[in-house]
Amino acid sequence: MPLGQRAGDKSESRYCGVETEYHDDMPHLLTHSLSGGFDFIVAPLVDPSYRPSSMRNDVGSCSVLPVAASDLVLSPSQWSSHVVGKISSWIDLDSDNEEVRLGSEITLKQEIAWASHLSLQACILPPPRQAACGNYARCVNQILQGTSNMQLWLRIPLEKSESMEDCSADANSDLPAGGMFDSWEWWNSFRLLCEHHSQLSVALDILSSLPSNNSIGRWFGEPVRAAFVHTNSFLTNARGYPCLSKRHQKLITGFFNHSIQIVISGNVRHNISGDIIEALPANNDESHEVTPSRHSLKPYLDYVAYIYQRMDPLPEQERFELGYRDFLQSPLQPLMDNLEAQTYETFEKDIVKYTQCYFQLQYQRAVSKALIDRVPDENASTAIMVLMVVGAGRGPLVRASLQAAEETGRKLKVYAVEKNPNAVITLHSLVKLEGWEGIVTIISSDMRCWNAPEKADILVSELLGSFGDNELSPECLDGAQRFLKPDGISIPSSYTSFIQPVTATKLYNDVKSHKDLAHFETAYVVKLHRIARLAPSQPVFTFAHPEYSKKGNERYKKLLFEIPPDSGSALVHGFAGYFDATLYKDVHLGIEPSMATPNMFSWFPIFFPLRKPLYVPKGSLVEVHFWRCTASTKVWYEWCVTSPSTSPIHNSNGRSYWVGL
Amino acid sequence: MPLGQRAGDKSESRYCGVETEYHDDMPHLLTHSLSGGFDFIVAPLVDPSYRPSSMRNDVGSCSVLPVAASDLVLSPSQWSSHVVGKISSWIDLDSDNEEVRLGSEITLKQEIAWASHLSLQACILPPPRQAACGNYARCVNQILQGTSNMQLWLRIPLEKSESMEDCSADANSDLPAGGMFDSWEWWNSFRLLCEHHSQLSVALDILSSLPSNNSIGRWFGEPVRAAFVHTNSFLTNARGYPCLSKRHQKLITGFFNHSIQIVISGNVRHNISGDIIEALPANNDESHEVTPSRHSLKPYLDYVAYIYQRMDPLPEQERFELGYRDFLQSPLQPLMDNLEAQTYETFEKDIVKYTQCYFQLQYQRAVSKALIDRVPDENASTAIMVLMVVGAGRGPLVRASLQAAEETGRKLKVYAVEKNPNAVITLHSLVKLEGWEGIVTIISSDMRCWNAPEKADILVSELLGSFGDNELSPECLDGAQRFLKPDGISIPSSYTSFIQPVTATKLYNDVKSHKDLAHFETAYVVKLHRIARLAPSQPVFTFAHPEYSKKGNERYKKLLFEIPPDSGSALVHGFAGYFDATLYKDVHLGIEPSMATPNMFSWFPIFFPLRKPLYVPKGSLVEVHFWRCTASTKVWYEWCVTSPSTSPIHNSNGRSYWVGL
């Protein structure tokens, strides 16, 4: 039974599980948990006292694996939908004792094989016993090579501490002993050994104390599938019911937002008066009629459901963009190809509803301010400003300009220059429909070669890509400024690209799945969601217009990012890119997160991947180089990192990714 | 004119060059240098005072590049054989001054294009100005993508110091200013950015003071093509002639042994009485009849030639193995395939000459000692020992055993077991030829399934690969020990594999050239030459025979290597592997460098590559994991590193490389 209804939320995090002990009556265990309101159980599949023959004295007896239940007691769909297997937690593949090590390997492989046979969707792997978990990773990696469907979730405590003093010594908690500790390092080492295998994910164990927010933030770029919330991390409210600290609540909300399922774990710790019922009849108790007994962990589940139900509904725009989350798209080639009507449709159908108002309004504001600056009130009725919209598309900037003229009482003569003949047809219809024939002249031409009959006071364009200059606005406006008056105004007057390092396992794996170099040397437009932003973004390239120096449009920028020390170490899969444009004076438009303008659906961020994820030890600086290179027929970026380690230069000579002129 | 004749040496290091100043009469410059005894010149191609138009005031004048000489003044083969181009040393692609940076990029590209047009074999790139040379590397990398033949040699001073105090401040030396410095780091960063491009190499500048031997050792695994020896690093001998310090001499000898060419650089510093002649007539001096004037740097060349000629001739075995140096071979699959006669031929033709004597002698020694231990003198004439040679091949171990029997006066009954039916034919001929019919019984069978008619006292085998167990000796002997008496002896009684981390650019590039994963997950047999051994080797897996425990033949070993701190940082391309076998008691046989037995041509070392070279900062430990895995039909290795950074696990499940059972 899902935690609740939340408008627009279709993610799996509505489902909540419960961790159970070993029980040999699986149907009863499942029925009890489902009737208690849980959606699935995380259950051991094999008797925890089992050891393989190599570890027992009775060598040679070829006994049957003592499984919790025959595969026949549940239907395949019950196994698959409601049971997550829990691998025996005694296994220790990095034990110094060779017998334990080899026995553990046999057991792990046997249990996974059994779980596969049951068609489970996932199995939980016990946490590594120590940072050095090379043999455990090698064995899991071997298993992953031969497993086609089942997910393996490595259990990792959400823990980062400078010393172990603040970690309560729970002998059964499977936590490591030792000094400074960051469990992320274990996960990182494990998944590097297993090469980011897409079926290897994380199940976090939430403890009663939480590490710093920055260090928790890293996990949102990792493939976390589930979070175990132990009953002993719950507090008790005034009425004796379980509740969570504010920070825990925020964390759980973050999990819900990132499709991470909650699993309640542990024994009842809250004595709710008159409400205590035995968890489950003991094993081998013959008398278990399935009474509709209340599940002892229900109060914890209720509290988690309460957090879920309390969340705001997804905003309409977010809901629309759900399908785009973390989905890699190749950037447009607006100069080489004519945008298909489909593209305009996708953009405009929803832009009209969510975005265009704002986008258009900012242009209107900018044009208004420019008009007022350029035409004093006393000349308003006589002076006619020549305004050219270059790249008019289907007309939004023409409309914004005319509205600005109306708003400010200035007079305009508008040229709408558009190279796509199909868009020109639409423009003609629009002009006719709106009765703009006397004001707007439509020019079907590439702005770079148009021979303008007069010079413009104001040049309005929107040629910006997610990374600002990546759709070649600089080259286009260099061409168009020929017909701008010497003191004429360009809207936008400048734009700047920004990048920041991110952890983005999902994106990295999607790029990697193409198995070639070219995809690792391509920038993607993507609605970033399951990522961790590791440091504030920094400006990369700035272009101002008009530009009369002979500077050219090649650029080189070296940036140094500092990941906050309390984050701990991190893995950088690439760089998220944004832009911010100054349309005119204080009117700006952009998607850089810290100063983004609202509802900018037209532009998702851009993502520059790294061919090999960059491990950044705690406190290290990330040094990045970005180049914008130009040749006669194309423009491209090259990028690399030189600290904390050196990567190859990506996309040399634009071999993999370029924008045609 | 080569430096001299050295028996067996066919490497390019016989040729010595001279670095020249800019001179606009290239034919004269070349004739003067060649007649002076040099084989080639390293010469600027463009007037060093030239700056591209973007850096001059006379913008717009599209002037011709002021080259040292038209391509027509020398024949293409003269250009290609005798001239190495020297790129203008004023360029600085990482200057903070954008004008200098852009002008440098234009100049670099122009000069390389000119050198390409001249069909030069190589150009020298000036050293980076600073550790942060990202833009220089980006530009060179772009050039490399479009250059098909010419080599680019990045000039790097051979220098490593904790502080700059010991580095004489020479304003023209292009050396960096600053504190702790290791020029290898510059090279490493540059080549990582350029992704180990095979046309990017190093030209070392030898200074008057040399860094530690360990740090110099690293360079022998790098693609060093030339070494500039400056006249000011020469000392003066009693007669006033130039000479070099002992350490410099040793270094030069090392260069000769690794095909690194010497280039003499700088002005005359030694006043050799009555012998001083002007180096070259000044530019634009009309009166240069080519007099056979003695070249002013001849004394330096003579000294270098003296060092060359003084070297010992290449040993006969080395000469034979020259063609195998750094050439990757796939390991044998002796169990799955029958060795072709060709393989035996290659082995034995030369083994007879160089190796077999020793190899056979060690087996003879081992069998002798075993026979003496097993049969007291008083029983020598009566006791008949049953000796089985398993994997008898074409008979060398049969012969060694019979010679041992003769030597010790013991009596033998020999079974020669061989699965290759073709080798069996040879064995029959041998037995007939030698008259061994009464002593030797030939068994045409796989030792793992042969049903022996009696049990053996001594089991003799040579099933070892370069890595000891990699040709499945353990599995074979497990099968064969069925017919060994309980107190019987196995020769060898044990064997151990060893590995050590190495820098091996050549091997890495050869593996990479296949452009697939499988080649990076394969071990190769290779005569290692252009490598740097970064730390002493350590034992990996040991197998002892007979083995009656149920231990199995899977193994796991974790090793920690410490690279000597005075080496500085290093790049590990993979691991060199060896074996050492104890035949019987103190009689051993092996190729582990520190205890290798002589003339072991049969076994070249093995090389386990890493998919991505591992950067090891100075003082860091290298943690390596090796697994020997077995399944019903095959045996394979997996390997990975976990410190200083974590690699993927190589060859999971033997997906790329395995040995069939």
pLDDT of residue A163: 45
Residue B349 pLDDT? 52
**Does residue B600 sit in the same domain as residue B648?**
yes
Does any CB of chain B come closer than 8 Å to the CB of residue A612? yes
Check residue B3 and give its pLDDT. Answer: 86
pLDDT score, position A178? 47
> Is A652 in contact with B145 (Cβ distance < 8 A)?
yes
Which range among A564-573, B265-274, B531-540 shows the weakest confidence by mean pLDDT? B265-274
Give the tens place of pLDDT for each residue, B399-418.
999 999 999 999 999 999 99
Is residue A282 pLDDT above 90, yes or no? no
Q: How confident is the model at residue A63 (pLDDT cuts 50, 70, 90)?
A: low
Report the share of chain A in percent with pLDDT over 70.
89
Residues from chain A that touch B613, judged by Cβ atoms under 8 A, are: none
Q: What is the mean pLDDT of residues B146-156?
A: 93
Is A470 inside any structural domain? no
How many interface pairs between A and B have CB atoms less than 8 angstroms apart? Answer: 94
Mark yes or no for CB contact A615/B645 under 8 Å: yes
Contact across the interface for B135 and A556, Cβ inside 8 Å: yes
CATH number at residue B118: 3.20.20.150
Q: Report the alpha-carbon distance of residue A431 to residue A415 in Å, rounded.
A: 12
Q: Check if B625 contacts A (Cβ < 8 Å).
A: yes
Domain coverage including residue B85:
12-53+66-312
Q: Which residues of B touch A625 (CB under 8 A)?
A: 134-135, 138
Collect all residues with Cβ–Cβ distance below 8 Å to A473 and sequence separation of at least 6.
A461, A463, A464, A465, A495, A543
Q: How confident is the model at residue B486 (pLDDT cuts 50, 70, 90)?
A: very high
Taking CB atoms within 8 Å and a gap of at least 24, the contacts of A62-71 are A65/A110, A65/A111, A65/A114, A67/A114, A68/A22, A68/A23, A68/A24, A68/A26, A68/A43, A68/A44, A69/A24, A69/A25, A69/A26, A69/A27, A71/A117, A71/A118
b/e per residue A478-504 (b: at least 16 CB within 10 A): bbbbebbeeebbbbbbbbbbbbbbbbb
Choosing among B138, B145, B553, B645, which should be mutated to test the A contact, i.e. which has the most A CBs within 10 A?
B138
Q: Is the pLDDT of residue B164 over 60?
A: no
Q: Which of B59, B138, B648 sits opposite A192 (nearest CB)?
A: B648
pLDDT for res B218: 96
**pLDDT value of residue A176:** 46
- Whether the pLDDT of residue A572 is over 70: the answer is yes
- Does residue A7 form part of some domain? no
Q: Supply the pLDDT for residue A183.
A: 95
A656 part of contact set with chain B, CB < 8 Å: no
CA distance A184 to chain B (A): 14
In a domain, A6, yes or no: no
Chain A contact for B249 (CB, 8 A cutoff): no
Q: How far apart are CA A272 and CA A21, in angstroms?
A: 22
Residues B455 and B581 placed together within one structural domain of the fold: no
The residue from A314, A349, A383 where one domain ends is A314
What mean pLDDT comes out for the span B131-136?
Answer: 92
- Measured in angstroms, the CA of A551 and the nearest CA of chain B are apart by 10
pLDDT confidence bin for A449, thresholds 50/70/90: confident
A469 is in an annotated binding site: no
Provide the number of structural domains found in chain B.
3
pLDDT number for residue A141:
97
Interchain contact B645–A (C-beta under 8 A): yes
- Residue B135: list chain A partners with CB under 8 A: 556, 625, 627
Q: Tell me, yes or no, if B509 comes closer than 8 A to chain A by beta carbon.
A: no
pLDDT 10s digits, B43-89: 999 999 999 887 876 544 456 788 887 888 888 899 999 999 999 99
pLDDT, residue A169, reads 43
pLDDT of residue A348: 52
From the list A193, A615, A625, which residue is nearest B649 (CB)? A193
A329 is a domain residue: no
Distance CA A572, CA A499 (A): 13
Same domain, B533 and B591: yes
B327 belongs to a structural domain = no
Contact A244, A234 (CB under 8 A): yes
Q: Which residue, among B144, B642, B643, would best test binding to A if mutated, counting the most A CBs under 10 Å from its CB?
A: B642
Nearest partner of B588 among B606, B576, B600, judged by Cα: B600
Q: What angle do CA A17, A21, A24 make, to 5 degrees?
A: 110
Identify the pLDDT of residue A343: 57
Number of other residues whose CB lies within 10 A of the CB of residue B22: 18
Please answer yes or no on whether B142 and A615 come within 8 Å at the CB atom.
no
Do residues A346 and A303 share a domain?
no
B447 and B571, same domain (yes or no): no
Picking from A112, A521, A556 by the largest number of B CB atoms within 10 A of its own CB, the best residue to mutate is: A556
In the predicted model, what is the mean pLDDT of chain A? 88
A359 and A451 co-located in one domain: yes
Give the burial class of B148: count Cβ atoms within 10 A of its Cβ; 0-12 exposed, 13-18 middle, 19 or more buried.
exposed
My answer on whether A379 and A285 are in the same domain is: no
Residue B243's φ and ψ, nearest 5 degrees, are -150, 175
Domain shared by B308 and B348, yes or no: no
pLDDT at A519: 95
* A559 in contact with chain B, both atoms CB, cutoff 8 A: no
Q: Which of residues 42-61 of B touch A (CB under 8 A)?
A: 59
Tens-place pLDDT, residues A224-260 = 999 999 999 999 998 889 999 999 999 999 999 999 9
Tell me the chain B residues in contact with residue A138 when contact means C-beta distances shorter than 8 Å.
625, 627, 638, 640, 649, 652
Q: Which residues of B are catalytic?
A: 462, 471
Nearest CB to B138; choose among A135, A550, A638: A638
Average pLDDT, integer, range A117-137:
94
Q: What is the pLDDT of residue B346?
A: 56
A625 touches chain B (CB under 8 A): yes
Give the mean pLDDT of B627-639.
96
- pLDDT beyond 70 at A179: no
Residue A449: inside a domain: yes
Q: Determine the distance in angstroms separating the CA of B503 from the nearest CA of chain A, rounded to an integer.
A: 17
Chain A residue with minimal CA distance to B614? A645
For position B659, what pLDDT does the model report?
Answer: 92
Q: Which tens digits make up the pLDDT trace of A534-546?
A: 999 999 999 999 9
Give percent above pLDDT 90 in chain A: 72
For the cut 90, the answer to whether the pLDDT of residue B394 exceeds it is no
Q: Does residue B135 sit at the A interface (CB-CB below 8 Å)?
A: yes
**pLDDT tens-place string over residues A500-524:** 999 999 999 999 999 999 999 999 9
Residue A355 falls inside a structural domain: yes
Of B189, B625, B652, the CB nearest to A142: B652
Chain A residues touching residue B627 (CB < 8 angstroms): 135, 138
Query: Which of B93, B569, B649 to mutate to test binding with chain A, by most A CBs within 10 Å of its CB?
Result: B649
User: Are B625 and A652 inside 8 Å of each other by CB?
Assistant: no
Neighbour tally for B170: CB within 10 Å: 11
A623 is in an annotated binding site: no
Whether the complex's predicted ipTM surpasses the cut of 0.90: no
Same structural domain for residues B308 and B345? no
What's the burial of B455, exposed, middle or buried (CB within 10 Å: 0-12/13-18/19+)?
Answer: middle
Q: Is A58 annotated as a binding residue?
A: no
Task: State whether residue A489 is helix, strand or coil.
Answer: strand
Whole-angstrom distance between the N-terminal and C-terminal Cα of chain B?
56
B132 touches A at CB < 8 Å: yes
Q: CB of A309 within 8 Å of any CB in chain B?
A: no
**Residue A378 is which amino acid?**
E
Q: How confident is the model at residue B339 (pLDDT cuts 50, 70, 90)?
A: low
Tell which wins on pLDDT, A383 or B285: A383
Kindly state whether residue A435 falls inside one of the protein's structural domains.
yes
pLDDT for A496 = 98
- Domain identity same for A135 and A258: yes
> Smallest Cβ distance to A195: which of B59, B556, B648?
B648
CB contact under 8 A, A135 and B625: yes
Of B101, B189, B625, which has the smallest distance from its Cβ to A642's Cβ?
B189
For residue A242, what pLDDT is reported? Answer: 95
pLDDT band at B376 (very low <50, low <70, confident <90, very high): very high
Confirm if B242 and B270 have CB atoms less than 8 A apart.
yes
Give dist(CA B575, CA B537) in Å, integer: 9
> For B183-227, what is each residue's pLDDT tens digit?
999 999 999 999 999 999 999 999 999 999 999 999 999 999 999
The predicted pLDDT at position A342 comes to 54
Q: Is the same domain home to A136 and A273? A: yes
**Matching residue, tokens 């997950």:** B521
What average pLDDT does the segment B602-616 reach?
94
In a 3-state reduction of DSSP, which class is residue A509?
A: helix
Q: Which two tokens stand for residue B348?
A: 């034995």
Beta strand spans in B207-313 (E): 224-230, 235-236, 242-243, 261-265
What H or E segment, with its residue span, contains residue A456? Answer: strand A456-461
Residue A102's closest chain B neighbor by CA? B554
Q: Residue B434 in contact with residue B460, Cβ under 8 Å?
A: no
Q: Is pLDDT at B601 greater than 50 in this prediction?
A: yes
Same domain, A148 and A258: yes
Q: Do A558 and B134 touch (CB under 8 A)?
A: yes
Annotated binding-site positions of B for S-adenosyl-L-methionine: 344, 353-354, 418, 446-447
CB atoms within 10 A of CB B325: 17
B193 at interface of A, judged by CB pairs closer than 8 A: yes
The answer to whether residue A149 neighbours chain B at the CB level (below 8 Å) is no
Q: Which CATH number goes with the domain that contains B369?
A: 3.40.50.150
CA distance B544 to chain A (A): 18
Chain B residue numbers touching A200 (CB-CB < 8 A): none
Q: Of the residues A462, A475, A521, A638, which is catalytic?
A: A462
pLDDT tens-digit readout, B645-659 = 999 999 999 999 999
> CB-based contact (8 Å) between B610 and chain A?
no
Output the pLDDT for position B130: 85
Angle of CA points A290, A293, A295, to nearest 5° = 115
